[in-house]
Chains A and B, each alone.
Chain A
């Protein structure tokens, strides 16, 4: 498995002043293979969006490195860096209302990339825009419209065309369907799948909808309070979760099936995600974990591989460390 994108110990802190720091992302390592879709799930405030933005350089890194096709990316992007990497890495945003400039037409929004990077004539850029409008299921006539004239689903299609018009290799999709209606979600997911197959895209798919992430992605990474707690093949993580937090996430996720919902044993979870300011030692989930042990409050568990190879599974939990296996008996 050759890594197209590799994050090594990526950390992003936001200083609040007076010595206080938001630990948005702490020491996250994740590899994404070429043409793979990795889903990133977690509650709001878990740092998944910050991680995605840090990967493509929209946030500076506090520590750690990101490699794209073996090439180390800058820690802090300059304007020239953005121009250089925009052809290879792009981002699709959650809110199709605030992520499109309301004063630009759809044609200008999609055409901005080719204009800055292609250097071709106006006619070829217009042709490119028209081709992409059709490809994402809109009409060429939409080029003259403004975002406010479009529905949410249409805007998200514009956002996708804007991100993909330069044919990047790696795209971070930050909650691309959360703001859309159920029937439109499936349209957008199918569209992404079609274009992914055509262009051979590699995707990081950030979402809080577990069912959709399981369906969309090859592998799934679960984030809690800035750290990865579990990584593995999507079906493995969803149907056989190991980390207590993943178990709770899956159990909390209602399935559209009344019979299984009636039989479901819910695992109650106490409280809410704590503040990511000045995090204490030990496992970050210890304050809410139903299976918490003494060691969890003092020692931070490492994300350890349980199985290797194609079905690699990594979990950060003391329950699965050899020593604690013995202690539990």
Chain B
């Protein structure tokens, strides 16, 4: 998977390589390693992504979970070339699609990567669609550009694709403008646009955050159905652990620009290996949460990424922090097969209590 000429950064071996869940059961389609992204602002340089590594397997779903400002959207937008440069820039890292770094190479075998081999959907479909173009024309445009179809053929194909997203009366709907669509229908139209070229990877950036739960369930069902049909890999960006539990095969937990834990969905939920993951879980009500147990908020706020801490980004909020965590950034420890965490508590010489903390629940 890792080729020597793309050896990722000086911390390779511990920090880079691999990525989340490139494990058994499928080859990694998209493999991002040691990604660093910065932005120039009036206030200085924001180090938004600080060495993120993750990968998604064919036909599987990787969820990148984290709170606002943790860098999850910037990570995928930067590899898709969707952040304005300047002020943004990728200072280090690779994103390999079938082995080819798509940060450097935007066209593979004469096919453009963006919008063709990798599709993307966004949180707010109203602002992602052109309000002055008929929905069908917008979908057809991607087919004309990437597949060279004629206008008429592309439109006919657009209607077919709209129908696969279960938009009723797709042929009539294709001739309407976005304002005539409800939020859920717009999200379906955007999915249709993203999958029109049958991409290998679909990146879904908070696709259901703006929707009601019933519509969210419909859209998540649709994504799963399309994945079964096309075998595409999905990178799902969300802050909702419920959506992660519902959709993900693999999970990467992101905090302050770093992936702090990665592994299979069961490993990350039932054998959480980073205090931030545990904090997120305890802060959200689940079936089991009663008033007697109570929610445990994570106190404090994420660190300032204008001046990121030298050590662990979670140090200031971590209930298990040690003196070592303040000045020294934790290595990426393998805590199980294809299960990694950046936390000093996994160091062999960490205090005895640490093992206790991470025992997880019996399976």
Contacts and interface: CB of A to CB of B under 8 A. Distances in A.
Contacts of A210: 213
A268 B280 CA distance: 29
Interface stretch (B116-124, B282-290, B332-340, B344-352): B282-290
Given A253-B242, A254-B245, A255-B242, A215 B299 contact: no
Contact of B286 (A186, A190, A252, A255): A255
Interface string B208-247: 0000111111101100000000000000000111111110
Contact of A153 (B221, B240, B269, B301): B301
Given A182-B67, A190-B295, A269 B217 contact: yes
B237 to A, nearest CB: 14
Contacts of B217: 251-252, 254, 266, 268-269
B266 interface: yes
Interface string A110-151: 000000000000000000000000000000000000000001
Contact of A211 (B216, B246, B284): B284
Interface residues on A, range: 35 or more
A249 interface: yes
Interface string A280-320: 00000000000000000000000000000000000000000
Contact of A257 (B67, B185, B214, B287): B287
Contact of A186 (B241, B243, B269, B298): B298
Contacts of A43: 212-215
A153 B68 CA distance: 12
Interface in B244-303: 244-246, 248, 265-266, 269-270, 279-287, 289, 291, 294-299, 301
A253 B239 CA distance: 15
B182 interface: yes
Contacts of A184: 297
Which of A153, A184, A208, A210 neighbours the largest number of chain B CB atoms within 10 Å of its CB?
A184
Interface string A15-42: 0000000000000000000000000000
A248 interface: yes
Interface of B is mostly: helix
Given A186-B283, A256-B241, A257-B287, A208 B213 contact: yes
Contacts of A214: 285
Interface of A is mostly: helix
B136 interface: no
Contacts of B68: 181
B283 A255 contact: no
A256 B283 CA distance: 11
A44 interface: yes
A128 to B, nearest CB: 26
B184 interface: yes
Contact of A269 (B214, B246, B283, B301): B214
Interface residues of B, number: 45
A73 B185 CA distance: 41
A62 interface: no
A215 B297 contact: no
Interface in A245-271: 248-249, 251-261, 266, 268-269
A212 interface: yes
A210 B269 CA distance: 21
B285 A211 contact: yes
B287 A255 contact: yes
Contacts of B221: 266, 268
A189 B294 CA distance: 10
Contacts of B291: 215
Given A248-B214, A258-B265, A212 B280 contact: no
A185 interface: yes
Given A215-B291, A253-B242, A257-B287, A183 B298 contact: yes
Nearest to B208: A254
A187 B242 contact: no
Contacts of B185: 272
Given A255-B242, A256-B286, A268-B221, A215 B295 contact: yes
Nearest to B297: A186
Contact of B212 (A208, A212, A260): A208
Nearest to A43: B212
Given A215-B285, A249-B213, A256-B269, A183 B297 contact: yes
Q: What are the 7 tightest A-B residue pairs by CB atom distance, in nearest-first order?
A: A254-B242, A186-B297, A256-B241, A183-B298, A215-B285, A186-B283, A252-B217
Given A43-B215, A212-B285, A258-B245, 11 more contacts: A43-B213, A44-B212, A184-B297, A186-B282, A211-B242, A253-B242, A254-B243, A257-B269, A260-B287, A269-B218, A272-B214
